[in-house]
Structure 1
Amino acid sequence: MKPHTFAICAYKDSPYLESCIRSIKTQSVESDVILCTSTPSTYISGLADQYGIPLFIRHEKSSIRDDWNFAYNMADATFVTIAHQDDLYQKDYVKNLLDCYGRYPDMTLFTGGYVVVKKDKLVAFEPVEFIKRILRLPLRLRFLSHLSWIKKSVLLFGNSICCPACAYNKVQLGEPLFTSPYHFALDWDTLYELSKLPGRFICVEKPILYYRVHEGAATKAAIEDNSRIKEETEMFKKMWPGSVVKVLMHFYRKAYHEYE
C-alpha cells in the first residue's frame, strides 16, 4: 500500500481540471494519483491519457457523497486526499502530510490553511479564511489534538476545516468514509463524526491549497437554492440549543458574500 493518493473527482468538463492535475503531478514528493468520474467524457479521458493517470468511472447517477466515496474507495493508500477539480495544491502538500504522519502516527486527519483564488487571481486577504484560522487554533495544541473535545471545538462555530485540503487515514478510518445525508454540509458532518473516533487531527497552519471560488462552484449553487442555510442550521442544532443557533446563523450567513 502506498503512503498517499490524490483521488481527483472530475465532474463534467471543468476548465480547471488540467491545472489541478498539474499541481498534483509537480509535487516535491511524488504521490499516487487517480482520476474518478461519474460523468465520463472524451475531455476527461483525454487528460487521464495525457498525464498517465488511471481513470475510474462510476456508472451511476452523480452524487457528491457517492462520488467522493467511490474516489476514496478506489484509492489504495494509507492516506487519501479527495482532490476537487477546481483547486490547486501547493507543491509541498504531500511532503507536509508525510512529515506530520512521521511525527504523529495516530493521525487520522491532515489539513491546513488555504489561499482563495478569484478570477484567476490570488486574494491577499480573505476575511472568512482569517476567521477560520482563528477557529482552528485548538489544533495547534498538537499534544491534545487526539482528544475528542479538541477536535470538536474547531467545528462548533462553523466548519473551519477546508475539505479539499484534507487527507484521511484510510487504514484507520475504513470505508465508506462519507455517510452523512447532507449535500452541502457533507464535509462538516463527516468531520464532526470523525472527531468522535480515536486518532489525531493535525493542521499545518499555512497555505497548502489554492481554493478557487467561481460561478460554477457547487457552494454557490447551494446558497442560491437555500440548501446551505438548511443544512448548516441542522449542523448547529447538533451542537447548540435553538436560541444559540439563531445567533450563530445570523453571523454565519454573512460569510456567503464570498461567493457573490
Structure 2
Amino acid sequence: MYNFQINKVEAYSKIIEQIKTLKRGSDISPHKFILLLSLIKLFENNPNHENRFYFTEVEPVFLECFNLYYADYADYRKMLEHPFYYLKNDGFWNLHMIDGKEEKFQSYEKLRLTKNRLIETVKYAYLSEDKYQLFLDTEQRQLLKEAITSILPGQYEINEQPELVVQESSLFEHEQVAIEIISKSIAKMRLGKMLNNVLIYDPQTKNYYEYDLIIISHLGLYVVELKHWSGKIQVAPYNWIIHGTQYRTDPHKNNSFKCKILKGILLLPPHNVQR
C-alpha cells in the first residue's frame, strides 16, 4: 500500500516536472497548466473520454479554465494554439496529422502555427498511453488538479493594476534568430538599444499591444514589426499584396497606433511606469 501511494505521487508529479514553460522574470507562463486542467475537466465530464482531443472541443473548456484563474488577462493572451502545439515538446502530448497534411504542417511550423492552421492540418492530439491511464484514474486526476491549482495562485498572481510594460520571450525559433541578428547589427554599428517582444498596456482600450522590436537611438524611437511572409510582396497604399493575390493589412498603419501608445507611456510621470 505504501509503495502504491508513492507510485501515484510520482506519476502525477512527473507530469508537472516534465512541463517546460516560458519565463517572464520569476513568473512562468500558465498556458500548459491551464491546458492540463482543461483535460481534467473533459474527463470529469466524461470519465471514459477517448484518447483524442480535438482543438475545437478543447478550446471552450480552455477559455473557461483560463478565465477562472486569469480573468484579467487580455483576450489575445488566452490562446490555446500555443500550449496545444508546444506541449508536444514535453514528452507525453502528441499531434495526429490529417492525412495528406504532413508537409503543409511542416511548412507552417517554419512560419507560425495559428489556430486556423492547426485546425487545417492537425486532426487531434493524444496523450502517451501511461498519461492517458493516469487521466482515466479519478484519484490521480484529483491529485494532479490539486497540485496544479496550488501552483497557479501563488506563482502567477495578477496585479489589480496591470503593468504598463511587460517583456516576454519570443515563442518562435525563426523569430528569435531574426531578433538576434538585428540585435548584433545594432550593437556593432552602435545605433542604440533594442527591446524585443514587449507588451505595452493602453489604458484607453484596456488592452496590451505587442511590439516585436523597439529601437531606441539618438535619432529617436523606432517600432519594428517582424513579418514571416515569403514570396513576391508588393507594397500598396493600404495593403501589402503577396504573389499578386493575397492581401495583408499594411503593418505601418497598426504601428502608427502603437507609436501613439508608446509616446503616451513616455509622457507619464516616472512612478507610473512599472519595470
TM-score interval for Structure 1 and Structure 2 normalised by the shorter chain? under 0.3
Rg: which structure is higher? 2
User: 1 or 2 for the larger relative contact order (CA 8 Å, sep ≥6)?
Assistant: 1
Compare the two structures and name the one with the higher helix fraction: 2
When normalised by structure 2's length, the TM-score is 0.24
